[in-house]
Amino acid sequence: MKRTLYDALQAREDFTDAQLKRCYERLVEHLDSPAAADQPDRDAQRFAVREAWSVLGNPVTRAAYDERLRGAAPSREIAMLAGVGPGVESSGRMRWLLLGTVILLAFGLWQGVRSFLHQSDRWAQGVSNEVEARRREAANQVQIQERLSGAPTAETAEARRQREYEAAMKAADANEQAREEVEYADEPMSAREAADAERHAREQEAKQAEAQRAYEARRRLERDKAELERLQEENNSVMRLH
């Protein structure tokens, strides 16, 4: 014999609503108790009891269910109240159709948001790369300006040192000459000639040292100029790339 919802509640069709409720509460209490913990089908029984009570616990849905058990079609009023019948089935199909439409719209919206976020990430990365390139270009410009502004300064300092050296040499020569004139005024001509030769040799050595320093200064200036030209070329290459 086909099992009914009344069988799930261990009740009969002639039970009153209060009796059905007591049956439902008794079964729920038993299935939730520790004594029923070892029953392998406890979860299935619990589900069947709740499903049966969801129908039989409502007088309207119980009346529609009783009519179906007796083989008679539920009346239109009961069917509409109980949620069964052709009209309700159409409404159910409409609800499922609307639910599917909402799901499709939500999926399309999610895809659009995902695409927008991807495009935003690419745009942000491009902006970051452009900012980094401009930062490097600005750093190169600053370095070039520092080199360009530092070269005349170094040249001016070198010229100033040259002038100071020449003035010091002239003063030293004048002092040496005056000292020699006083010291060797009464000496024979040969001694004075020897002193002049020695002084001349010192002057030659000083001039050679000064020429060496001037040569090294020119070499430094040439290296700085070559480095500035290299930096300028790198900067021009960066600007052509952008």
Q: For residue 98, with 0-12 CB atoms within 10 Å meaning exposed, 13-18 middle and 19 or more buried, which class applies?
A: exposed
Split at pLDDT 50, 70, 90, the class of 18 is very high
For 33-85, where are the alpha helices, taking DSSP H only?
Answer: 42-56, 59-69, 76-82
Split at pLDDT 50, 70, 90, the class of 77 is very low
pLDDT the model gives residue 154: 47
Q: What is the CA radius of gyration of the chain?
A: 55
**Distance from CA of residue 72 to its chain's centroid?**
68
Q: What is the mean pLDDT of the chain?
A: 78
Split at pLDDT 50, 70, 90, the class of 87 is very low
For 233, how many CA atoms within 13 A lie in the half-sphere containing its CB? 6
CB 60 within 8 A of CB 78: yes
CA distance 164 to 162: 5
pTM of this structure: 0.33
pLDDT the model gives residue 17: 94
pLDDT the model gives residue 23: 94
The pLDDT of residue 92 is above 70? no
What's the mean pLDDT in 100-125?
74
pLDDT the model gives residue 151: 47
What's the mean pLDDT in 17-43?
90
Compute the 3-state secondary structure of the chain and give helix, strand, coil in percent, each to the nearest 5. Answer: 85, 0, 15
SS (H, E, C) 141-203: HHHHHHHHHHHHHHHHHHHHHHHHHHHHHHHHHHHHHHHHHHHCCCCCHHHHHHHHHHHHHHH
The pLDDT of residue 82 is above 50? no
Split at pLDDT 50, 70, 90, the class of 185 is low
**Comparison of pLDDT for 191 and 67, the residue scoring more:** 67
pLDDT the model gives residue 55: 95
Split at pLDDT 50, 70, 90, the class of 58 is very high
pLDDT the model gives residue 157: 67
What's the mean pLDDT in 76-85?
49
- Of 9, 11, 101, nearest in space to 47 by CA: 9
Share of the chain above pLDDT 70, in %: 76
Share of the chain above pLDDT 90, in %: 19
pLDDT the model gives residue 149: 64
Q: pLDDT tens digit string along 132-168?
A: 877 787 777 777 776 666 544 445 667 777 888 788 7
The pLDDT of residue 59 is above 90? yes
CA distance 178 to 197: 16
**Distance from CA of residue 200 to its chain's centroid?**
75
CA distance 166 to 174: 12
